Structure 1
Amino acid sequence: MSDRQKGLIDALQLVVPQVELRFCARHMHVNFKQKWSGKSFKDVMWKACRAYIKFVFDEAMKEIKDMDESAFNYLMAVDPSHWSRHAFREATKLDCLLNNMCESFNKIILQAKDIPILTTKYIRRLLMKRFLVKQESISQFEGRLVP
Structure 2
Amino acid sequence: MKPRWSGNLFKEMLWDAACATTKPQFNRKMNAIRLLDNDLFVWLSQIPPTSWARSHFTGRAKTDVLLNNMCESFNNQLVKGRDKPIITCLEFIREYLMKKIVVVHKVIAKINGPLTPYATRVFDEIKADASQYSVMMAGRGRFQVTGGYADQCKVDVNERTCTCRKWQLTGMPCKHGVAAIWDMARNGMNVGVLESSVD
- When you count helix as a share of all residues, which structure comes out higher? 1
Letter of the aligned partner of 2:75 in structure 1?
N
Q: Which runs of 4+ in 1 moved over 2 A?
A: 136-147
Cα distance in 2 for residues equivalent to 1:37 and 1:107: 27
Aligned to 1:95: 64
Aligned to 1:119: 89
Question: After alignment, is 34-43 or 115-124 more displaced?
Answer: 34-43
- Trace 1:35-74 onto structure 2 (pairs within 5 A): 35-74=4-43
Task: Flag the structure with larger Rg.
Answer: 2
Higher relative CO (CA 8 A, sep ≥ 6), structure 1 or 2?
1
Q: Deviations over 1:39-92 (max 9, x none)?
A: 221111110011011111111111111112111111111100100101001222
Match of 2:100 among 130, 134, 137: 130
Cα distance in 1 for residues equivalent to 2:114 and 2:24: 38
Cα distance in 1 for residues equivalent to 2:39 and 2:62: 33
Cα distance in 2 for residues equivalent to 1:59 and 1:68: 14
Cα distance in 1 for residues equivalent to 2:31 and 2:113: 48
Distance change (3 Å), C-alpha of 1:142 and 1:96 = closer
Structure 1 alignment gaps of length 5 or more? 1-31
Distance change (3 Å), C-alpha of 1:44 and 1:142 = closer
C-alpha deviation, 1:143, in angstroms = 4.4
C-alpha deviation, 1:140, in angstroms = 4.0
Cα distance in 1 for residues equivalent to 2:106 and 2:75: 24
Q: Under a length normalisation based on structure 2, what TM-score does the superposition of the two structures give?
A: 0.54
Cα distance in 2 for residues equivalent to 1:76 and 1:50: 16
Match of 1:139 among 103, 109, 124: 109
Aligned to 1:79: 48
Sequence identity, in percent?
39
Distance change (3 Å), C-alpha of 1:73 and 1:134 = same
Letter of the aligned partner of 1:132 in structure 2?
V
C-alpha deviation, 1:142, in angstroms = 4.3
Cα distance in 2 for residues equivalent to 1:69 and 1:139: 52
Structure 2 alignment gaps of length 5 or more? 118-199
C-alpha deviation, 1:123, in angstroms = 0.4
Letter of the aligned partner of 2:2 in structure 1?
K
